[in-house]
Structure formats: structure tokens, C-alpha cells
Amino acid sequence: MTKLRLAIVGAGPAGIYAADLVLRAERAFDVSIDLFERLPAPYGLVRYGVAPDHPRIKGIISALREVLDRGDIRLFGNVEYGTDLTLDDLKRHYHAVIFSTGSMQDAPLDVPGVDLPGSYGAAEFVSWYDGHPDVPREWPLDAREVAVIGNGNVALDVARILAKHPDDLLPTEIPDNVYEGLKASPVTDVHVFGRRGPAQVRFTPLELRELGEMRDVDMVLHDEDFDYDEASKTAVATNKQVFVIDKVLNQWRRRETGTASRRLHLHFYAKPLEFVGDERVEAIRWERTEPDGQGGVRGTGEIRELPIQAVYRAVGYFGSPLAGLPFDARRGVLPNREGQVIDDEDQPVHGVYATGWIKRGPVGLIGHTKSDAMETVGHVLSDQANWWTPEHPEEERIDALLSAREVRFTTIDGWHRLDAHELSIGEAVGRTRIKVVPRDEMTVISRGESGAVAR
């Protein structure tokens, strides 16, 4: 019987869903799957891209863990594609590979002053407060007044983490260094800027409601933003999500303000023009916009300016190129046709597939990755003529290869050790979990090596 040796690069939701779907699919051949992850721990965006005060979303980990704990998928963590493991290696040992590496860079924002000190990409800040091991452990939280650019869920997450009192994050798995950094922050005002109106925002009602639940934080809105045009009125009347968002915002407009120690300001119809400053960000300059009658906005020529000392750009994520593969530099994805990676001449790249954000771009919620993976998996399983012919498909070859290269890879059992360790150090101080941040410490604990820090 034919046996498919399948590699999946990226152990976030997209990769794990793809592995699960392959194993559950009706097929006429056996399957052996190896899942490779560049970090010592699995779960990708759920562990390192979701704010720590989102336990409901992090509940997705329970479903992902069930898949990994079945024992029919091997996990190789702490393995970097392109260096520890190359495309040629994959061709020698597998019939096909699915890349599910996601999009973790910040999308560019082309405005003057974007490179000034005090201008930060939201993606890196999210990685910091989520305890990603590859970003600095300290963050320069020295601004009293902060701007956040964007009207999506990430922008609201960033604004909430900046404005929220750090003690209110202690019940979460916030890392110690993040708590201490936020505790020292002098922030008093966080301003969120979106170039379109309240009826055109891209965040979800759940994210929005959570802003208004913060203790000792006033929500500040501006009446001029709620003089709706006909298109906005129609959206409120016909779209349930827009209706709920409008209802929440108008409830906040009726709240009394002026007593809280911190404020979160929402600015709609505001297009950033420039981050002003000589040696660092000192102000944001923006143009007031208005509806153009066709679902977009146009500039009014009215220019405004607000003093700030830091700005966070939450205008989207962007994928990174992968060694030996074509890359769409405009969209930040692997060029593909329904998950089958294609080359510059629009021809299939044999044996190479994609799923998740590296396939479709950073759109959709985490749950959307499952339907996306189904499309890719369907092509993998029906496309035997496109598979590679591996020289050494034996499972033990990969362990030997990585060991010979002195790659300190981690496994499912290693993740269980790290997971138990994080839970135990959290329990010791009355918290659910405290994340281990340094990569070396994560690896030592996962591998059960001597020298693990007990904290």
C-alpha cells in the first residue's frame, strides 16, 4: 500500500488543522506526518499572537492539543526551516510539504516619520507582550500619550494592553517581564485612529466590548464621527455585526467621563499623514476624511495634530519569504492556486503546498483556517502525480538528520514538560500560568536537560 510521508512546516492552528484533516480524510493509502516548528513550543498565533486577556480565544488550544496528543503526528520543535532543515532535505525524506508559516511581520505604512524612534510595529509589540522568545524582553514604555493606527482587532488589542491597569492582567498568563514593563508605564491617554467611520470598522463586537470593560479607563468618543451618511445608516440597519458595534459605541457616548486615571480615545474619519518629530515621535498629524458615497472615504483638507510620544502601527500583517520558494512580495504570500504553490510562470511547484495566512494573506479569524486547510488538503491527497519521490522516506531518518546537525529539537513530550512547568510556576503565586520566555530556557525544560531554571 502507498504511504504518504508528509511534512508540515509551521505548528500553529493552520498546520495542526491541516495535519488533522489529512489523517481524518478517506484515502487509499497510509499517511505519516511530521510537523516542524521554529519555536520550541507549538500553537503559533494562538500562543504568540492573541492577547493574554483573551482566554476564550485561547480555548482553541484545547482542540489543537487533542490533535497533537493523539500520537499519530510527530512534532519537531525548535527547528528552523531554511537552515536546520532545507527544501532539499524535505525532498529526500517526504512526498510533499505543506507550508503554514503564517504572517508575523508588520505590513508597511508609507507616511513621513514612520522610522522615527517611538514608532513601533504592532506585530512586534504583540510578540513582546505575548512572551515571544525572539523579541527583546524589555519594551520602551515611556510615553504618556500614545497613538494606535488601525481599526482592526489587533489595533484594539494593542490599545487595550497599553491602557489597561497591569494588575488586572495578573489572572492571565502574562509573562513577568511584561507585567513589570507595563507596571512602570506612565501612560494616561491612548488614541486609536481609523481613516473610515464607525460603520466601516474591521474589529468584531467581542473585541470592542472588551475595551469598555476596563477598570478606571474612560472611553472618549467624538460626536462629529456619528453624523452617518446613507451608506452607514444602511449598514447599521442591515448588518447585525455593524448594528451591535454601533449600539456599543453609542452606549459609550452616553457615559460620564472625567473621573478615570486613564483614557482611551477613538478617532474615526482620521487618515494619518505624518508622524512629527526631530529626534523621536512628538506628534501625529492627520487629515479629517468623509464618506465618498461609494463605500470609501475622501480627504476634506482639514489637517489636525495631536501631541504624542509613541505610535503603534496596526495596519496588518505580512508574510516572509521562504528559502527556495517563489514569493509574492506584493501580498506577502506564497503564490498558489487553491493551496498548490505555483512558480513565476504559473506552473505548479511539485510537492509544495500552502495553507493559512502564508497562503491567503492575513485575513479571517483563527477559526477560518480550518476551511482553508480543507481546500489545500484536498489537493495534496488527490495529487499523487505531483508528489516527490523521496530517497529515504523512513521516519527514523529525520531524527538522525537533525541530531547529526546538533539541532536541539523538541517533541510533544517536551511540550508537555514545558506546559507543566509554566502551570506550576503560575500556581506557586496563585496564577493559572506564567510563560517561560527565553528560548534557551524553554528548550532546556522541554528536553529535560539539566540546568533548567526552577524560578
pLDDT, residue 454, reads 43
What is residue 129's DSSP assignment?
A: H
Q: Where are the domains of the chain?
A: 3-104+319-409, 108-316
452, pLDDT greater than 60: no
pLDDT, residue 455, reads 44
Fold (CATH) for 108-316: FAD/NAD(P)-binding domain (3.50.50)
The cell for 208 is 470592542
pLDDT band at residue 349 using 50, 70 and 90 as cut-offs: very high
The rounded percent of the chain whose pLDDT value lies above 90 is 85
pLDDT, residue 125, reads 97
Specify the pTM: 0.93
Tell me: the pLDDT tens digits for 154-192?
999 999 999 999 999 998 989 999 999 999 999 999 999
What is residue 328's DSSP assignment?
A: B
367, pLDDT greater than 80: no
Looking at every residue in the chain, the average pLDDT score rounds to: 94
CATH number of 3-104+319-409: 3.40.50.720
- For helices 13-24 and 60-69, the axis angle rounded to 10 degrees is 50
Give the C-alpha separation, 328 to 376, whole Å: 18
268, pLDDT greater than 90: yes
Measure Cα distances from 134 to 48, 180, 368 in Å: 11, 19, 27
Measure Cα distances from 264 to 159, 193, 260, 306 in Å: 8, 11, 10, 14
Identity of the amino acid at 390: P
- Nearest by Cα to 388 from 96, 85, 3, 98: 96
pLDDT band at residue 26 using 50, 70 and 90 as cut-offs: confident
pLDDT, residue 248, reads 97
Tell me: the pLDDT tens digits for 282-325?
999 999 999 998 878 999 999 999 999 999 999 988 999 999 99
Interval 6-22 mean pLDDT: 96
Name residue 97's beta-bridge partners.
7, 352
- Nearest by Cα to 20 from 64, 75, 59: 64
